[in-house]
Each structure stands twice: as C-alpha cells, then as structure tokens.
Amino acid sequence: MEIRNYINGHFIDSLSKKNIEVKNPANQNVVGFIDEALDEEIDLAFAAAKNAFEKRVLQDMDAAHKSKIMRLIADKLREYKNSSSIILSQENGKTIKQCEGEFDGAANVFDYYAGLTDKIENKLIPSGKDSFNYTILEPYGVSLQIVPWNYPIALFARSVAVSLVVGNTIVIKPPELCPISSNIFGKIFSEVQMPNGILNIVHGYGDKTGKKLVDHKSVNQIVFTGSPEVASEILKKTADRIIPCHLELGGKSAAIIYPDANIDQAVESTVKGIFKPNAGQICVAMSRAIVHHKVKDEYITKLNQKTKELNIGPGNDEKSDVTPLISKEQLQRVTNYCHSGVQSGANLITGGKQQEIHNGNFFKPTIFDNVDINSTIAREEIFGPVISIFNFENEEEAIKIVNSTDYGLASGVFTSDDQKAKWTADRIEAGVIWHNDWFVDGVNLPGGGYKKSGYGRDGGIDSLYSYGQTKRVSKRLN
Ligand code: NAD
C-alpha cells in the first residue's frame, strides 16, 4: 500500500521528509509509516484542487461520463476490498469482516451518487410574464475534508462522492491513527482516470497538518467529521473568512425502551448498538438506554447474560465480538470515565476495566445502572463499549432524559405501538430516530446532528444541499 501523499493525480515523494508511525491497537506492533504533509505538500494540494476547480473540470464534465467514472470507483473499491481490509483491520482494530463491510458500504455510496449525476433538476420559478427565474446547484470550490479514525473509509467515501456530484474539488486529510488504507482512493482515482487535481490526499497530525489545512487561504468549504471541541476550534479559526462548515460530530445516543417492547429484540439491538461494532467507537453508538421500570430488571438480566457471551479479541480473529480501542490514550479515557461513573454512585453491573490481551487496548463491555442524569458518564461521549441505563416512569420523563445532553445525533424507540413511537420520535431532539432496532441505515437515507452533534446532512439527496449552494438567475423579459 502507498505511504505517500496523493497530490494532483500522483503519489509524490515526501517533501517534509517526516513520517508518522502507525500501530496495531491489538498488540502495538508497527503496521507501517505514512508520509507527513507539511507546508509545501499542503500548498501543492490546494494549488491542484484550485486549478481543477477554476478549470471547471467537474462542473463541465458530461454527467453520464462522471457517472461512469464513479461507478468504476465503486467497482475498484470492491476489487481491492479484501487486501485493503486487512490493512484497515490492522491499523484500526476492527474485524476484517467489518472492514470489508466498510469497503462495501463505500462502494455503494459511489454507486448511489453515480446515479444522481444526471438527476439534479434545478427549479424554474414562475413569477409572471415579466421575468424568467431559474436556480442552479453550484459547488463551493475547494472543499477541505477532515476525517476521524473510527470509519475512515466510509466517511471518506460519503463526503468525496457527493462532492464529485456537486462539483467541489477536494483536499482531504485521513486520520493520523489509521491513515494507510485511505490511500487506496488515490490509487483508484488514478486507475479510473479521474482528472488530476480533483482529489488530493494529505496526511498528518490534526494539531499540525490539520491546523495548517484549516488556515489555508484556498479553502472554500470545510467538511469536518470528528469531535465538537475540534469543530469549535475550526469555526473560530474560519469565522473571519466566513467559510461554510459542514459538521458531523459526536453523540450520546439513547434508546427508549417502553414496557410493551420486545425485550429480546431490544437486547439484541443494544449489543449491536454499543458493544459489537468497533467496541462502541461509533458516533451513533447506543451509549444510553432509558428503560421503563416494569421491564428494566428483565432487560438488564438479559443484556448482562448476552454481554458475558461476547468474545473480546483482535480484528484478525473472526470470533472476536469486541475489538480493541484505537489507542492507549483512548483506553485511558474510557477507563477514567468508568472510574467517574463509580464515583458518581452509578451501579457497575459488569466490566469497567481493561481486558489484558497481548498489550492490546482491549476494554471489557461495561454496563452501568442507576446512572444520575447529571453525572459525567450520563452526559459526555465516552466512545467505548460502555452503556448507561436510566429508569423512567412515564413518557414525558423518558423524553426529558433523552434530550438532557448537549448532543442530538441518533436515538431509538422500542415499542410495539406505532402511535407511541411517532409521539416519541416527534419529541426527540436528534437527526436520526430508529424504531425497534439500531443501525437501520442505507446510502439513500440522510443523517446528521442536532445541537452539538453538528449540522448539515450526509446521505441521500439531502446531502447535495450540504455540499453546494443555490444560485438564482433572473431575467427581465420586458
Ligand atoms: P478528532 O476531532 O480528535 O479528530 C478528527 C480529525 O480531525 C482527525 O483527522 C484529526 O487529525 C483532525 N484534527 C484534530 N485536531 C485538529 C485541528 N485542531 N484542526 C484540524 N484538524 C484537526 O476526533 P476523533 O477522535 O478522530 O474521532 C472521534 C469523534 O468523531 C467522536 O466525537 C465521534 O462521535 C465523531 N464522529 C462523528 C461522526 C458523524 O458522522 N457525526 C462519524 C464518526 C465520528
């Protein structure tokens, strides 16, 4: 796999002469190195993207041809899925099967948006006999995209694919903790003969390369997926330049489990929502369960039983259910949160500490009950396999708890009563609400945050309007 930066259609030799060591979270073995982009590489990447934008390479490209190239990208992602998933699993920690799923998902995103290239129908707005008005969805220009480490391939695909449709050219920074597998996109873009300069991949640490990218004078839009703290810093740094920012941030997603719910289904969804995929390191993880007092004992007993059956292990073992946390820092962070949970008086039912395996960053799936809604573990994003359980007596109380954090990314409601589900969904402050399961998703479905979980939408047709701006053309007819 390439370890260089991909600029203007080529992997280029390092100008900074610096690189970043990438470690396997399951054992700390060195997976490889990636070249670090500093001032010169960053300038080259923006110059290439700016040039491609100014030449209107994407905007003037025949829509059917663009669609064909995007479908080829999808095909190539499937072709390289197996080999790339091994690297992704080594640098990220997820199981190889999950990594393959991530590549499949990325391919589906390119296929879906390939189908939209010739279907953006702008508006002709009637306003009487004296004028003629129409709109065009236009790109912003050079889109800077910054990606986190938990789903680097899926998140790369979702913002790049829609940018191609709308016509933005791209400078993208993969996450420093697992950057290597993202370089497959450079190889693929060259192989499908995407014109040079449209995609530029630069690697580096957030507080160095990331900051320099945000400060660059050629940025016209920023797509940031990551923590609210960094998002807030980016907003402050771009305020004077009035740069539009599209922000996909953290979450503290909660499921409300009503007494008429199928508890076995709710338990299955909980295991899937917080423990199994990527050890809970998911922005939309089910990190809270708000359970009616009549069914709480049954839910906790069954959840505890299922949790004990989970295998904790590395991503290259197909039997592993709970894979490692991304880094030692993340392991310490999750451990600290669990200590604070115990100190706040929450009842630790299981887990709460590291699982020692081969110097890996493994953490035991953890269940806290009787959590105080004002405590730190109730309010902050832990980003690990830790769930907090709350008790409720009536619907209003459940809604109060679900909306009690600063976040509003996803939520769930478990009930056999559709009217109650609708009543609940109408009152939850979150961009996505799932009913009777978790992760009911698809490339054609929009998602995004309320409150500190960000703004702008990814997925589906809505996404086009988060990556572009409407221009109106009005002609006086007499
Ligand atoms: P992070 O904010 O630390 O880093 C995200 C990216 O920003 C990385 O590429 C990093 O190098 C870069 N970065 C860091 N500091 C920067 C700076 N000052 N200027 C510019 N770039 C900088 O987040 P993380 O720890 O990588 O990811 C976890 C967070 O991402 C969680 O909060 C999670 O919920 C969120 N997330 C959200 C979504 C979503 O779609 N809403 C998806 C995945 C992850």
Atom of ligand 1 at shortest distance to CA of 229?
A: 2
CA 452/CA 128 separation, integer angstroms: 43
Atom of ligand 1 at shortest distance to CA of 176?
A: 11
Q: How confident is the model over 414-455, as pLDDT tens digits?
A: 999 999 999 999 999 999 999 999 999 999 999 999 999 999
| Mean pLDDT, range 218-231, rounded to an integer | 98
What's CA 139's distance to the chain center, in Å?
A: 22
CA 75 to ligand 1 centroid distance, Å: 28
Tokens for 288, please give them.
Answer: 């809270």
Nearest CA to ligand 1 atom 23: 226
pLDDT attached to residue 1: 84
**Weakest mean pLDDT among 71-80, 127-136, 169-178, 187-196:** 127-136
CA 178/CA 157 separation, integer angstroms: 15
3-state secondary structure of 311: coil
CA 155/CA 458 separation, integer angstroms: 10
Tokens for 66, please give them.
Answer: 């663009």
Atom of ligand 1 at shortest distance to CA of 409?
A: 41
Nearest CA to ligand 1 atom 30: 226
In which band, very low, low, confident or very high, does the pLDDT at 478 lie, cut at 50, 70 and 90? confident
CA 10/CA 213 separation, integer angstroms: 19
- Residue 431: CB atoms within 10 A of its CB come to 24
| Mean pLDDT, range 261-287, rounded to an integer | 97
Atom of ligand 1 at shortest distance to CA of 174?
A: 9
Q: How many residues appear in the chain?
A: 478
CA 326 to ligand 1 centroid distance, Å: 13
CA 335 to ligand 1 centroid distance, Å: 20
Tokens for 86, please give them.
Answer: 């091994």
| Mean pLDDT, range 341-369, rounded to an integer | 97
CA 238/CA 246 separation, integer angstroms: 12
pLDDT beyond 90 at 277: no
3-state secondary structure of 440: coil
Q: Which helix (H) or strand (E) holds 448?
A: none
The counts of H helices and E strands in the chain are 14, 22
CA 202 to ligand 1 centroid distance, Å: 16
Nearest CA to ligand 1 atom 22: 206
CA 399/CA 397 separation, integer angstroms: 5
| Mean pLDDT, range 369-379, rounded to an integer | 98
**Residue 102: active-site member:** no
Q: How confident is the model over 166-214, as pLDDT tens digits?
A: 999 999 999 999 999 999 999 999 999 999 999 999 999 999 999 999 9
CA 187 to ligand 1 centroid distance, Å: 25
Q: Which helix (H) or strand (E) holds 474?
A: strand 468-476
Nearest CA to 27 among 89, 100, 118?
Answer: 89
pLDDT attached to residue 42: 98
Pocket of ligand 1 (CB under 6 A): 146-151, 155, 173, 175-176, 206-207, 210-211, 214, 225-227, 230, 233-234, 248-251, 283, 381, 383, 409, 449, 454
**Residue 248: active-site member:** yes
CA 467/CA 138 separation, integer angstroms: 9
CA 410/CA 429 separation, integer angstroms: 9
Nearest CA to ligand 1 atom 9: 175
Nearest CA to ligand 1 atom 12: 206
CA 339 to ligand 1 centroid distance, Å: 24
In which band, very low, low, confident or very high, does the pLDDT at 157 lie, cut at 50, 70 and 90? very high
| Mean pLDDT, range 134-138, rounded to an integer | 97
Nearest CA to ligand 1 atom 43: 283
Mean residue pLDDT across the chain? 97
Choosing from 248, 338, 393, 397, the catalytic residue is 248
Tokens for 426, please give them.
Answer: 């109408």
In which band, very low, low, confident or very high, does the pLDDT at 316 lie, cut at 50, 70 and 90? very high
Atom of ligand 1 at shortest distance to CA of 251?
A: 34
Q: How confident is the model over 9-60, as pLDDT tens digits?
A: 999 999 999 999 999 999 999 999 999 999 999 999 999 999 999 999 999 9
pLDDT beyond 90 at 222: yes
In which band, very low, low, confident or very high, does the pLDDT at 113 lie, cut at 50, 70 and 90? very high
CA 6/CA 41 separation, integer angstroms: 9
User: DSSP strand E in 102-141: where?
Assistant: 124-125, 131-139
pLDDT attached to residue 419: 98
Tokens for 287, please give them.
Answer: 């990190």
Choosing from 283, 309, 380, 396, the catalytic residue is 283
Q: Which residue from 102, 146, 180, 406 has its CB within 8 A of the most atoms of ligand 1, so it is best to mutate? A: 146
Atom of ligand 1 at shortest distance to CA of 454?
A: 41
Q: Are 161 and 58 in contact (CB under 8 A)?
A: no
